[in-house]
Chains A and B, each alone.
Chain A
Amino acid sequence: MSEHDPVLEHLLGLGPDPGVEALASFAEVELPQGLAADTLALVQAERDSAPVPANRPGGWLKFVVAGVGVAAAALLVVHGSPDTGDVSSMTARGLEETTPAVALKMAADRGGELERFRDDQTYGPGDVLYFRYQVDGQGWVSLVHASPQGLVVLTQEPVDVGEADLTHAGQQVRWRIEDGDPDAVFALITSNDPVDAADLQTQLAAGLESGQTVDPGDLCAAAEQTGRRCDAVRVTTREDTP
């Protein structure tokens, strides 16, 4: 080293811990201008239950969020709940039921018209799916997408008791179906604490046959084997719009 730097020496294992304040000179990095204020504003907006000017996570291939949460939520209520049942009567199969029971409710935007999702219909390129949850306890929900192409945890969000749209960074989560998308299963899986997405994927995949069309019941059974509760819906796709 060019000069005695206790922080560098500590980081390299060549010296004692220089203390929190000294270590902060390396650990801490100045925020880009406006980031702190923007973040606090986002949180305050959530506190106030006002529409949130969220930071759109650009770069996601298909999984995006939309600023139409209020409208979507209203329509979901108008159209009623999909046949996911009453969460109070839902039971998890498998291990001890310690995570919140959950019901997944979905809506679909087909050419500008938002309607209740139906698992007996097919959905084509350009259709957009929206997600809503109902849980009977506080915790976290992971939204999982499973298809013959693989299984991925799309997002994980903290939830409170009751029913609400699934949001990420203050905006409603949605999924746009694209050309060539195979049939898929979407699942909401609950946990009491944040879970490692990679671990959850590994655990779920271990309970499923790879390369096969995933069944909602099988996916939830795999989730419940890990002690978590789940609700899942199959989305059947078609190649072209009618």
Chain B
Amino acid sequence: MDLDKKTDEDLMVLTQQGNAAAYEVLFKRHDRAIYGFLLRKTRQPEYASELFQETWLKVHRGRHTYRQGQAFRPWLYGIALNATRDAGRQASRRVDTVELSIDKPVAAERHADRLTLEQAIDLLPDTLRDAFLLGAVHGLDHREVAEQLNISPDNARARISRARSFLRDHLGKHA
């Protein structure tokens, strides 16, 4: 069975059936994206690492709560998002910032632009940042973003749009 060719949803069903290799394929397929999401959410590498572990442990422990046919990525990001919402933990954490490193080969000018964008994302209000990260950066559709944030799809679309407008203004970019 070539697990690499299977969809996320098929792999998750196999994971539910106890297939550890399927879980690892899912992990390796999404680990960097989930870490990127958590790092941009928290801006604290150690905290993001802690939440990363918590997220993947919960994927394992909560595998029986995944419903066949359910889109995997929104379910996964829902678990990650929920991990960041633990109020008891957030309350005791110091707000800090960290500069994200971009390891992909990009031109120097692009690198600079992307770092500027990172800094601007950090300035977004939480409500806009969550919608922007989930929808624009991680590719969830408006309905999926809405479900994760408990808002309407129209509201999700509006938040992403407002976030983009904020970022354009901050970067001095206009259509």
Given contact pairs A13-B164, A155-B88, A192 touches B65 in the complex (Cβ within 8 A): yes
Of the listed stretches A54-62, A87-95, A176-184, name the one at the interface; the rest are far from the partner chain: A54-62
Does the CB pair B110–A8 fall under 8 Å? yes
Given contact pairs A8-B114, A157-B61, A44 touches B164 in the complex (Cβ within 8 A): no
| CB under 8 Å from chain A, chain B span 101-124 | 101-104, 106-107, 109-110, 112-114, 117
With A and B bound together, what is the CA distance between A26 and B33 in angstroms? 9
With A and B bound together, what is the CA distance between A160 and B46 in angstroms? 29
* B20 surroundings in chain A (CB, below 8 A): 44, 47
Does the CB pair A158–B53 fall under 8 Å? no
- Our pick among B28, B35, B82, B165 for the contact of A197 (Cβ within 8 Å) is B82
How many chain B residues touch the partner (CB < 8 A)? Answer: 65
B93: interface (CB < 8 Å): yes
With A and B bound together, what is the CA distance between A170 and B92 in angstroms? 21
**Per-residue contact bits, chain B 126-137, to A (CB 8 Å; 1 contact, 0 not):** 000000000011
With A and B bound together, what is the CA distance between A44 and B31 in angstroms? 16
Most buried by A among B37, B60, B88, B100: B88
A241: interface (CB < 8 Å): no
Does the CB pair A2–B113 fall under 8 Å? yes
- Our pick among B35, B62, B139, B164 for the contact of A35 (Cβ within 8 Å) is B35
Of the listed stretches A17-25, A110-118, A211-219, A225-233, name the one at the interface; the rest are far from the partner chain: A17-25
Does the CB pair B103–A39 fall under 8 Å? no
- Our pick among A155, A158, A199 for the contact of B86 (Cβ within 8 Å) is A155
* B60 surroundings in chain A (CB, below 8 A): 43, 46-47
Does the CB pair B39–A198 fall under 8 Å? no
Tell me, rounded to whole Å, the shortest Cβ–Cβ distance linking A50 to chain B: 14
Does the CB pair B27–A36 fall under 8 Å? yes
A11: interface (CB < 8 Å): yes
Does the CB pair A158–B62 fall under 8 Å? yes
With A and B bound together, what is the CA distance between A91 and B146 in angstroms? 33
Does the CB pair A29–B35 fall under 8 Å? yes
Given contact pairs A8-B110, A199-B150, A32 touches B87 in the complex (Cβ within 8 A): no
* A156 surroundings in chain B (CB, below 8 A): 82, 86
A154: interface (CB < 8 Å): yes
Most buried by A among B37, B62, B92: B62
Does the CB pair B85–A55 fall under 8 Å? no
Does the CB pair A153–B87 fall under 8 Å? yes
| CB under 8 Å from chain B, chain A span 111-158 | 138-140, 145, 152-158
Interface residues of chain A, those whose CB is within 8 Å of chain B, are: 1-3, 5, 7-8, 10-14, 17, 20, 23-32, 35-36, 38-40, 42-44, 46-47, 54-55, 57-61, 63, 138-140, 145, 152-160, 168-170, 192-199, 201
6 cross-chain pairs, A with B, having the tightest CB-CB distances, nearest first: A2-B109, A158-B62, A28-B32, A29-B36, A13-B164, A158-B61
**5 other A-B residue contacts (CB within 8 Å) besides A5-B113, A25-B106, A57-B89:** A31-B35, A35-B52, A43-B56, A153-B86, A194-B58
